[in-house]
């Protein structure tokens, strides 16, 4: 399963093939490519670009939004000479809605939206559509709306499958392994997709009696402090007997690791996602067995190119596949994730959105970094 170099190459090759758009008015909604892929043709015309508003969700569910997405998005818009305002709702749905309304008032022609949940996201999209503003779902799909024009993300079920297979590989042939499952936020469609992916791998282990599921709980709002409390309760219920943890991202993984250490329990395999500096450090130290690396720069660049074309009144030239949001097929760009373990960290160290050595190898991880080639 871990043909990571191949997956990474596919991710690089499969990112947008966005050609330079020529000018033109956008007179109709973009159509999804049939049969799993299509190409939007660039329109003629165009002129001065309108403004773009980027609505990020928070800074505590994952450090990526502020440390990775924001700077790469800002650079992409600056390089294109397009005015963009990047805002963060810090987990507040009302704040995000107000930010969207203010952005439209200030002249935004495109909204790049990472919703806090589908209900509030759909309301933002509907208001934007009513005022002629294009909407791109960024990283998270907004369900039950016809007001979204594009979706840019990763193949999120593939993310979950990598996590599930990662835990299988880390536990090896251990029979009767007692496994806890920490899911992401129940209001985040991505968390549902991640779970679909890893459940397809680990549920057969439970059903066959190879593993025992000690608990399976979702963490509201991806809140790491809530995750710590939930996992402590799991350990209490299980008499501290746990052999592995399927954690949906690095923040939840670190919460589980913290609880395990507080109780002075032995290290057990813990999965993660986002390839954060904390997650990679935990892998180096043996506290976490894997994470999932998503090349966020490619995601940010793909979304920015779409937004720039739409802000100029152009139809982007982009390969898409239809993703159904329970109301319509949204033309979508999906990138491929890769699994990262102690054995292949060095393969990604030069990637611009991968944690730097000085951040990974600080403190008591310094001596261990040499052992993995860092």
Read off the pLDDT of residues 16-67 as tens digits, 9 standing for 90 and up. 333 333 333 333 333 333 333 444 444 334 557 799 999 999 998 888 999 9
User: Is 245 within the bounds of a domain?
Assistant: yes
pLDDT at 112: 98
d(CA 365, CA 60) in angstroms, rounded, equals 23
For residue 317, what is the domain's CATH number? 3.40.50.2300
Taking only the tens place, the pLDDT of each residue in 243-257 is 999 999 999 999 999
pLDDT at 45: 41
Buried b (16+ CB within 10 A) or exposed e, 132-169: ebbbbbbbbbbbebebbbbbbbbbbbbbbbbbbbbbbe
Q: Does 320 lie in the same domain as 342?
A: no
Q: Does 224 lie in the same domain as 163?
A: yes
Residue carrying the six token digits 């007001």: 147
Taking only the tens place, the pLDDT of each residue in 192-228 is 999 999 999 999 999 999 999 999 999 999 999 999 9
pTM for this predicted structure: 0.81
Q: Would you mind telling me the total number of residues written for the chain in this entry?
A: 374
Q: Does 236 lie in the same domain as 359?
A: yes
- For range 71-79, the mean pLDDT: 97
Q: Does 258 lie in the same domain as 172?
A: yes
User: Is 6 within the bounds of a domain?
Assistant: no
d(CA 157, CA 11) in angstroms, rounded, equals 15
d(CA 284, CA 195) in angstroms, rounded, equals 26
| Percent of the chain residues past pLDDT 90, beyond the cut | 83
Helix, coil or strand: residue 115:
coil
Q: Does 245 lie in the same domain as 300?
A: no
Mean pLDDT computed over every residue of the chain: 89
Listed in sequence order, the residues at least 6 apart from 321 whose beta carbon sits closer than 8 Å to its beta carbon are: 32, 33, 36, 37, 38, 331, 332, 334
Q: Does 318 lie in the same domain as 193?
A: no
DSSP state of 259: H
pLDDT at 47: 57
Taking only the tens place, the pLDDT of each residue in 320-368 is 999 999 999 999 999 999 999 999 999 999 999 999 999 999 988 999 9
Question: Domain range holding 85?
Answer: 19-153+295-324
Q: Does 314 lie in the same domain as 215?
A: no
CA torsion sign for 181, 170, 165, 189 is: positive
Q: Does 249 lie in the same domain as 185?
A: yes
Q: Does 356 lie in the same domain as 211?
A: yes
Q: Does 240 lie in the same domain as 130?
A: no
Q: Does 126 lie in the same domain as 56?
A: yes
- For range 274-292, the mean pLDDT: 97
């Amino acid at each position: 399963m871990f043909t990571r170099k191949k997956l990474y190459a596919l991710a690089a090759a499969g990112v947008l093939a966005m050609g330079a758009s020529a000018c033109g008015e956008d007179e109709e909604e973009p159509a999804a490519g049939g049969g799993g892929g299509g190409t939007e043709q660039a329109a003629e015309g165009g002129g001065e670009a309108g403004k773009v508003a980027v609505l990020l969700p928070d800074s505590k569910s994952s450090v990526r939004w502020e440390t990775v997405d924001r700077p790469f998005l800002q650079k992409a818009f600056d390089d294109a000479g397009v005015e963009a305002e990047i805002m963060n709702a810090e987990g507040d749905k009302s704040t995000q809605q107000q930010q969207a309304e203010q952005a439209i008032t200030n002249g935004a022609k495109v909204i790049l939206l990472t919703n806090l949940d589908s209900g509030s996201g759909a309301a933002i999209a509907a208001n934007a559509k009513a005022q002629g503003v294009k909407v791109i779902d960024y990283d998270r799909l907004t369900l039950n709306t016809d007001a979204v024009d594009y979706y840019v993300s990763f193949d999120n079920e593939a993310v979950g499958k990598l996590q599930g297979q990662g835990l299988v590989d880390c536990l090896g042939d251990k029979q009767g392994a007692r496994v806890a499952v920490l899911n992401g936020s129940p209001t985040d469609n991505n968390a549902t997709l991640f779970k679909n992916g890893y459940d397809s791998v680990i549920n057969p282990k439970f059903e066959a009696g190879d593993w025992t599921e000690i608990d399976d709980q979702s963490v509201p709002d991806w809140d790491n402090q809530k995750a710590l409390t939930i996992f402590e309760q799991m350990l209490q219920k299980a008499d501290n007997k746990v052999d592995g943890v399927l954690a949906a991202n690095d923040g939840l993984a670190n919460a589980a690791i913290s609880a395990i250490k507080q109780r002075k329990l032995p290290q057990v395999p813990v999965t993660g996602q986002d390839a954060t500096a904390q997650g990679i450090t935990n892998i180096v130290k043996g506290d976490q067995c894997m994470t999932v690396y998503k090349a966020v720069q490619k995601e940010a660049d793909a979304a920015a190119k779409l937004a720039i074309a739409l802000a100029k009144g152009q139809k982007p030239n982009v390969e898409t596949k239809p993703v159904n949001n329970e109301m319509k097929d949204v033309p979508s760009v999906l990138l491929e994730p890769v699994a990262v373990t102690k054995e292949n960290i060095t393969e990604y160290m030069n990637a611009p959105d991968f944690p730097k050595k000085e951040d990974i190898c600080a403190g008591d991880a310094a001596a261990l970094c040499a052992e993995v080639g860092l």
